Amino acid sequence: MIMAKLTFLGAINDIGASGLMLEVGGGNIGKRFVFDYGSDVQEVPQRFPAAVKGSVDAAFLSHAHLDHCGGIALLSKRNSFPIYSQPITRPITDMLLEDSLKIARNDGIQLPFTHEDVHRALKHFAPMEYKQPVALGKAKNEKLTAVAYDAGHVPGSMMTFVDFGLERSEAERTKRFGNMMYTGDFNTDSTRLLSRADTALPEVDALVMESTYAKRDHPDREEEEKRLVRMVEATIDDGGIALIANFALGRTQEVMMILNRHGIDYPLYMDGMSRKATTIINSYPRLLRDPTEFDKALRKIRYINNEQDRKRAIKEPCAVLTTSGMLNGGPIVWYVRQMYDDPRCSLILTGFQVDGSAGRTLLDTGRFVSEDVRNKLNLRVRMEVSRMDFSSHCGRKQLFDFVEHVKPRRIFCVHGEDTPAFAAELKAKGFDAVAPTANSRAFDI
């Protein structure tokens, strides 16, 4: 008989350090798969998912955001197994992990993995294409397969469906689950950059889903775009500089395309990892909703390569796209330091601000606090600060619509700030929903 078990390793009732293990087996033949192994960079030193003891047969990376891929070099440190992802996830993960090592080195912090570990992990990356099943070997059956569906969240993001290879008759007789799907981060609405997540999915038994925005609907996208454009243009008309803080992968390019759609007649710069990620995405045009539009927008961008470029750029009114999205380090800190006291300048946060991040603190207190060892700051910011919502996650409505559409037999809610509340709401609507907790994190399915 085929048995399956899910163990939740991280991002149980928070956002950060995602990790999930699936064990599938019959008799004493078992296979173990890990889905995402991220890090929580809000904590210093960064926190990783629960340790995986024993062997792993394969890992799957849903996408290259640190909360999903930041611990992969740690997971694969003593173990050799294929790490399946979309091809673009590899170079972006490489960039992010090398950056994590650099930041740790600068801060005098030892990470539990080295440059060599990153290098070894990268060697084990195995490309997976959307909707092309991958055979996962024999767990008493030959039909154990994984299929990736486009998650619509960032270039190369995937929802992973695993078919345990159970015969229908056996499934019906034993009432066991025959498959599971892990959404990773996903978005069922199209954005300027990406087409929405695939919704033509097979029947899903166990659905492990993110719930970042379970409590909130997103504002009207068109209105939000206009607000951004108005703010950038007003700042530049005032003789100021518009600093736009983005996540490197996805958000930077989305904002670039929004600005371009409304016409860019001012200098627009891109700095740091935003620039690097954009260069990588540019070599995977088929992942984009409209590669021609992307190309047009990219031609308006001026890249900043060093501090000299930076100093030159801010001599005249302009807009700058850079990282980090939550103001925890990256070139944005340099810019804020130059401009925090100038009310003509503005700082626009375009992404989710996790509790404890410098961005959240700034929104709550009006102060920019940096705990960076070499760069401790505590500044009262006089620039105009706004948070805008160009989310690449489902909003509340989209999450519920997705569940109604997929109608899974059981839902496991993860990656949210209050997953028990989300599970309770789903239950009230008649679904079998669970929010794993630290004390109850393993489930036979």
Residues near Zn ion (CB under 5 A) are: 65, 67, 185
Q: Read off φ and ψ for residue 430, nearest 5 degrees.
A: 95, 5
According to DSSP, the β-strands at 384-387 and 346-349 are parallel
DSSP state of 130: B
- Find the shortest distance in angstroms from Cβ 395 to Zn ion: 15
Residue number, 14 or 163, with CB nearest to Zn ion: 14
Burial of 377 (0-12, 13-18, 19+ CB in 10 A): middle
Burial of 315 (0-12, 13-18, 19+ CB in 10 A): exposed
Residue number, 83 or 242, with CB nearest to Zn ion: 83
The amino acid occupying position 81 is F
Nearest of 161, 142, 121, 129 to residue 37 by alpha carbon:
121
Residue number, 164 or 352, with CB nearest to Zn ion: 352
> In 10 A of CB 51, how many CB atoms?
10
- CB burial readout 235-258, b (16+ within 10 A) else e: bbebebbbbbbbbbbbbbbbbbbb
- Find the shortest distance in angstroms from Cβ 212 to Zn ion: 7
- Find the shortest distance in angstroms from Cβ 168 to Zn ion: 34
- Find the shortest distance in angstroms from Cβ 49 to Zn ion: 13
Residue number, 65 or 196, with CB nearest to Zn ion: 65
CA atoms within 13 A on the CB side of 375: 16
Q: What is the spatial distance between Cα 284 and Cα 88, in angstroms, rounded to a whole number? A: 7
Residue number, 198 or 342, with CB nearest to Zn ion: 198
Beta-carbon contacts of 279 under 8 Å, excluding residues fewer than 6 positions away, are none
The amino acid occupying position 57 is D
> In 10 A of CB 134, how many CB atoms?
19
- Find the shortest distance in angstroms from Cβ 62 to Zn ion: 8
Residue number, 67 or 94, with CB nearest to Zn ion: 67
- Find the shortest distance in angstroms from Cβ 208 to Zn ion: 13
Residue number, 89 or 322, with CB nearest to Zn ion: 89
Is residue 155 within 8 A of residue 194, CB to CB? The reply is yes
- Find the shortest distance in angstroms from Cβ 417 to Zn ion: 12
- Find the shortest distance in angstroms from Cβ 8 to Zn ion: 14
Residue number, 67 or 205, with CB nearest to Zn ion: 67
